[in-house]
Structure 1
Amino acid sequence: MSRRLLSWGILVMICSLLLSACASGSNTEANTAAATEQDTGTKVVKDYFGEVTIPQHPQNVLVLSSIYAEYLIEMGVPPQMVIFVPEVEPDYRAPYFEKNGVQMIQAEQYQYNYEQLLSLSPDLIVGIGVGMEPGTYEELSKIAPTVAINADSEMKTAMPDLAAIFDKTEVSQQVLATFDAKAKQAREQIQQAIGDKTVLILRVESERYRVMGPKAANSSAFFYQTLGLHSPEAIKDSTDWFSPISLEALPDMNPDYIFVEDRILKDHDNTESMKRLKENKVWASLTAVKNDHVFPLKTSDFVHGVGPVGSVLLMNNVVEKLVK
């Protein structure tokens, strides 16, 4: 082979390699651009107030409800931040958030510091839609795209909507199925242990006493439906979450078991009302009191401590007290 042909062959090979490299570089750049476009894309979702455009893949999510944050963690999409009100939170939740890398933003109950939230630079805000004021939603939406989930805090209504936002529907179904299985087991244990004996949830406040109605939502549903507890006959049709009562009405209910909530409420002290209750002769005459079947119940555990983690802890506590 002549030197001229050899040189020509080498030149052709070099050109081929250069063209291949250029094509590969173009493909890499195109793929990177497509990935970047996907990461920075948006989607439209429906919430309590209508439609809202949110990031396809948010990087700095702020959740306004610690209950919702628990739902998201258990679905495998822990938020970066959550509003945290220490005095109403159950004991397990702060360590739980720390373990899952969620930054707790301490705040006062029912109040938002909009300047503080703005300084956190969230790219998505998620909160409970039911009960949220339109003005609050508007202020939050000025900070970042805000999704007010069209649900309350109850697990079986809120979790599916949250799952749809974060593309975790299948995972949420698995979480709920696991919870249902645990609840069924607890319900069967309680039924076997106490049968149709009655259970009353009594709330003690600074100036009054209230009892939980068995046909209300949220925690009423947890105690009287999920766990299958039986309420006293006198209030069996009550749809009120908590109804005021006088102590003189307790003998008409005369429950076999009583869970007493010493309600946690800012600037309220229930010491005197709790003392009046325990010193009252009516109280001493109740079947549950005589049989030492009165158990404490923390506000934080059943009002804020709900979720795949908290509700199981509460469930276990109720089973421990009733199944002996």
Structure 2
Amino acid sequence: MSRRLLSWGIILIAFSVLMSACSSGSNKEANTATATEQATATKVVKDYFGEVTIPEKPKNVLVLSSIYAEYLIEMGVPPQMVIFVPEVEPDYRAPYFKKNGIQMIEAEQYQYNYEQLLSLSPDLIVGIGIGMEPGTYEELSKIAPTVAINADSEMKTAMPELASIFDKTETSKQVLAAFDAKAKQAREQIQQAIGDKTVLILRVESERYRVMGPKAANSSAFFYQTLGLHSPEAIKDSTDWFSPISLEALPDMNPDYIFVEDRILKDHDNTESMKKLKENKVWASLTAVKNDHVFPLKTSDFVHGVGPVGSVLLMNNVVEKLVK
């Protein structure tokens, strides 16, 4: 082979290596650009206060409601962080969050430490819109894009709204359908066991007693609609979540079963109220009391323990007490 041909061969090899390196570099740059675009891509969603621009694929989501965090976990989009108020949370939830790798940010109930939230560097904040003050929304929005979901905490209304934000509508439908199937089975078990016998939810507070209205929303709907329980005739049309009553009014209701909530409320002690109730002759005369059909009910289990996990646990507890 002549020296001239050898030289041309070397030149061609060098040129090929150079072109390959350039092509590789271009591909890397293109991939980097694509990844950057995906990381910074945004979308506009509607919430309780209007429209808000949020990341398409947020990486550090802070959820202000542990109930909403449970919904998101069950839909397959677990948040990175959740505000957690230990004294009001049901027993199962902390281990549940830990199992799913959720960082729990302990806080006071109904209070936000904005400096603390800022230090967490969320790229998206999600909370319950109904009941949120505009001023609170404004302060949260200074920290990160904030979505105030146009719903309360009730599963059938909140989950579809959350699903639409995180593109999980079909998953949400599947989760709700699975819950409905379990609720149907529980309802049938209760109906077969106690028929039309009446059930009262009695709340004991430090200075008063209240009863749950069967035509209210949230937990009332869970007991009297989802589980199909029958309320005493005297309050069958009540739309109040809880109405104050005197102990003397209980014989007019005279339920067959009573679930008694010793309400958990910060800086309140119900010891005397509970003692007064149990020592009252009116209480002792009730059918449910005579038949030992009185069961404890934790505030955290039915007020905050809402969700595909918590509601099933509560459902199982009610079935266990009524179906014997």
TM range (shorter): over 0.9
**Alignment deviations for residues 113-150 of structure 1 (CA, whole Å, 9 cap, x no partner):** 11111122211111100000001111111111111000
State how far apart, in whole Å, the 2-side matches of 1:233 and 1:144 are: 50
State how far apart, in whole Å, the 1-side matches of 2:208 and 2:294 are: 19
**Alignment deviations for residues 69-115 of structure 1 (CA, whole Å, 9 cap, x no partner):** 11111112211111111111111111111111111111111111111
**Alignment deviations for residues 27-55 of structure 1 (CA, whole Å, 9 cap, x no partner):** 23112211221112211111100111111
State how far apart, in whole Å, the 2-side matches of 1:242 and 1:112 are: 27
State how far apart, in whole Å, the 2-side matches of 1:3 and 1:196 are: 105
- Consecutive aligned runs of 4 or more in structure 1 exceeding 6 Å deviation: none
State how far apart, in whole Å, the 1-side matches of 2:183 and 2:292 are: 26
State how far apart, in whole Å, the 2-side matches of 1:32 and 1:187 are: 55
State how far apart, in whole Å, the 2-side matches of 1:185 and 1:11 are: 79
State the SS of the aligned residue for 2:44: strand
State how far apart, in whole Å, the 1-side matches of 2:10 and 2:227 are: 81
Deviates more, 1:245-254 or 1:298-307: 245-254
Deviates more, 1:4-13 or 1:289-298: 4-13
State how far apart, in whole Å, the 2-side matches of 1:184 and 1:3 are: 89
Q: What is residue 271 of structure 1 aligned with on the other side?
A: 271
Instruction: State the TM-score, normalized to the length of structure 2.
Output: 0.97
State how far apart, in whole Å, the 2-side matches of 1:35 and 1:114 are: 31
**Alignment deviations for residues 149-200 of structure 1 (CA, whole Å, 9 cap, x no partner):** 0000001111111111112222211111111111111111111111111111
State how far apart, in whole Å, the 1-side matches of 2:47 and 2:81 are: 20
How far 1:6 sits from its partner (Å)? 4.5
State how far apart, in whole Å, the 1-side matches of 2:242 and 2:180 are: 26
Deviates more, 1:3-12 or 1:277-286: 3-12
State how far apart, in whole Å, the 1-side matches of 2:112 and 2:177 are: 35
State how far apart, in whole Å, the 1-side matches of 2:21 and 2:194 are: 77
How far 1:17 sits from its partner (Å)? 3.6
State how far apart, in whole Å, the 2-side matches of 1:202 and 1:133 are: 31
Deviates more, 1:7-16 or 1:210-219: 7-16
State how far apart, in whole Å, the 2-side matches of 1:44 and 1:69 are: 21
Deviates more, 1:20-29 or 1:219-228: 20-29
How far 1:10 sits from its partner (Å)? 4.2
State the SS of the aligned residue for 2:214: coil
State how far apart, in whole Å, the 1-side matches of 2:14 and 2:192 are: 83
Identity within the alignment, %: 92
How far 1:312 sits from its partner (Å)? 0.6
Deviates more, 1:51-60 or 1:314-323: 51-60
State how far apart, in whole Å, the 2-side matches of 1:13 and 1:87 are: 72
State the SS of the aligned residue for 1:264: coil
State the SS of the aligned residue for 1:265: coil
State how far apart, in whole Å, the 2-side matches of 1:50 and 1:297 are: 38
**Alignment deviations for residues 231-271 of structure 1 (CA, whole Å, 9 cap, x no partner):** 11111111110111111111111111100000111111111
**Which ranges in structure 2 are unaligned for 5 or more consecutive residues?**
none
State how far apart, in whole Å, the 2-side matches of 1:247 and 1:144 are: 50
State how far apart, in whole Å, the 2-side matches of 1:59 and 1:13 are: 45
State how far apart, in whole Å, the 1-side matches of 2:92 and 2:220 are: 22
Instruction: Figure out how many residues of one structure are paired with residues of the other and give that number.
Output: 324
How far 1:2 sits from its partner (Å)? 4.3
State the SS of the aligned residue for 1:260: strand
How far 1:9 sits from its partner (Å)? 3.8
State how far apart, in whole Å, the 2-side matches of 1:275 and 1:224 are: 28
Residue 237 in 1 paired to residue 237 in 2? yes
State how far apart, in whole Å, the 1-side matches of 2:306 and 2:142 are: 30
Instruction: State the TM-score, normalized to the length of structure 1.
Output: 0.97
State how far apart, in whole Å, the 1-side matches of 2:108 and 2:4 are: 85
Q: What is residue 323 of structure 2 aligned with on the other side?
A: 323
